[in-house]
């Protein structure tokens, strides 16, 4: 695994951003755009997938990061359930359902692997230098 210097470097965050765009697209038109409750829930859960990775990363501690990753992973499960509701209500077609569901499922697996790694790697913080030892910065002044 690589070093994470910014939350934007995390592949799961990149995928969640893509999922957010997909959810915004399907909830902006058609019958789903008029089901304000489901539309809002889907937008919140997909946004939570992105936001909890970012917030947890910015906390600087591996334990807190893992806690926020757990919430993010839970949000992906929530979105998958909401996608079932959307397809069952004929708000979206099977193709959109399958595409977004597959991305959300992959995201959950990615986050789970990251959580497992952080749990076993003994990394405490310092921006989660995955796969390398933390390096101290030295000043030339």
Domain boundaries in the chain? Answer: 7-121
Which of the two residues, 2 and 70, has the higher pLDDT score? 70
**Average pLDDT of span 5-16:** 95
Report whether 127 contacts 62 (CB < 8 A): no
Q: Which pLDDT belongs to residue 5?
A: 86
Phi, psi of 29 (to 5 degrees): -145, 170
Tokens of 5: 């210097």
Report the C-alpha gap between 94 and 61 in whole angstroms: 41
Residues 6+ apart with CB under 8 A from 133: none
Q: Give the percent of the chain with pLDDT over 90.
A: 75
Residue in the structure block whose two tokens are 């959109």: 96
* Integer angstrom CA distances of residue 104 from 2, 3, 75, 100, 110: 22, 24, 9, 6, 10
Residues 108-126: pLDDT tens digits? Answer: 999 999 999 998 887 766 5
Taking 80 as the threshold, does the pLDDT of residue 93 lie above it? yes
Taking 50 as the threshold, does the pLDDT of residue 141 lie above it? no
CA atoms within a 13 Å half-sphere pointing along the CA-CB vector of 83: 27
- Give me the CATH code for the 7-121 domain, please: 1.20.1440.60
Q: What is the CA radius of gyration of the chain?
A: 17
Which of the two residues, 62 and 104, has the higher pLDDT score? 104
pTM here is 0.84
* Element (DSSP H or E) covering residue 12: helix 11-27
């Amino acid at each position: 695994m690589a070093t994470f210097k910014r939350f934007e470097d995390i592949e799961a965050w990149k995928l969640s951003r893509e999922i957010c765009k997909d959810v915004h697209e399907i909830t902006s038109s058609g019958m789903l755009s008029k089901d304000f409750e489901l539309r809002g829930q889907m937008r919140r859960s997909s946004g939570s997938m992105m936001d909890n990775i970012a917030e947890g990363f910015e906390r600087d501690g591996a334990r807190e990061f893992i806690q926020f990753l757990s919430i993010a992973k839970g949000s992906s499960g929530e979105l998958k359930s909401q996608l079932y509701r959307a397809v069952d209500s004929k708000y979206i077609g099977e193709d959109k359902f399958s595409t977004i569901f597959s991305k959300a499922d992959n995201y959950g697996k990615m986050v789970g692997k990251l959580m497992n790694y952080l749990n076993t790697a003994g990394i405490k913080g310092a921006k989660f230098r995955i796969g390398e030892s933390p390096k101290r910065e030295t000043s030339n002044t």
